[in-house]
Amino acid sequence: MRRHLLGRSRRGRDMSKSAVFSPILRGSHGTFVGTTPIDGVRRLYSYHRTPGFPLVVVVGRAMTDVLAPWYRRVWAFGGIIAAVDLLIIALAAMLARQWRRRQAIEDHLRHMVGTDGLTGMGSRRALDDATDREWRRAHRERQPLSLLMLDVDHFKQFNDQYGHMAGDDALAAVGSCIQQQIRRPGDYAGRYGGEEFAVLLPGTDAAGAALIAENIRKAAERLHLAHAGSPLGNLTVSIGTVTDGADWNGGRHFPDVRAFLRAGDEALYQAKRSGRNRVVGSGTLATATAT
């Protein structure tokens, strides 16, 4: 009221019916929120009747002043929460980046472990895992599984005469020949060790395995890599093949994967003993091993 002095027109005016004073008449004390008709400011009022006197003590404070501390706390807490949120987002981004880096490192290590560094083919470990996996799948789905065991002929003499670098190049070239002859997604080739390679052919019968093996042998022969230590004068390969499949009553030719691999090794050694540069299938050897 001090800020807004009453003019003559407002003096003597009955304010008991106004929105501000009407709540005061209903009780001896209390609080309420109202807007004064004089300045239009919304205030929080507190009133109390004075006992024994026709007086009412009224205190009014603007709502903006009443809520100012609350607004300050809200802004302070809001700022803290926003800072915490930003910190959490930053930490989440850092963790996500570290997780991606870890995944990339693990993928790289997995690739290194599963890949032969010289030929780019599967490593021995990856080959063992693939053999076990395809063996179980072939049994589960009652499908044939063929294996090619390949060895570079007279490779020790080749290394001794031409050097280890030439030997590494020769192994890489043979590995490339193998990869070019297996095109199905399920086929898998790897370096078995030294100058030996292995090829897994899921869903391939004995005739199909023999055909692929012969194609690999011819491809290696077409490399025309000079080899003075070989009777043929060129680098050649010997390949043994073995196929495991279900017989008429649902049984398999081999009791376990170790017997399957032994049959492949024996077929390879048979190819080497019989003159090298040839493909030998396990044939009756599979039945003999199974029994």
Rounded to whole angstroms, the Cα distance separating 283 from 149 reads 14
Q: What is the DSSP string of 215-268?
A: HHHHHHHTT--B-TTSTTSB--EEEEEEEE-B-TTS-BSSSSHHHHHHHHHHHH
CA dihedral 148, 149, 152, 154 (to 10 degrees): -140
Q: Which helix (H) or strand (E) holds 180?
A: helix 164-181
Q: What is d(CA 239, CA 289) in angstroms, rounded to the nearest whole number? A: 19
Measure the N-to-C terminal CA separation of the chain; round to a whole number of Å: 115
Identify the three-state secondary structure at position 153: coil
DSSP annotation of 265: H
The stretches of 115-154 forming alpha helices (DSSP H) are 124-141
195 carries an active-site annotation: yes
**Contact present, 223 and 152 (Cβ < 8 Å):** no
Nearest CA to 241 among 278, 275, 186, 187? 278
Closest CA to 216 of 253, 243, 187, 244: 187
Identity of the residue numbered 42:
R
Among residues 106, 134, 195, 266, the one annotated as catalytic is 195
CA angle 243, 245, 248 (to 5 degrees): 140
Active site residues: 195
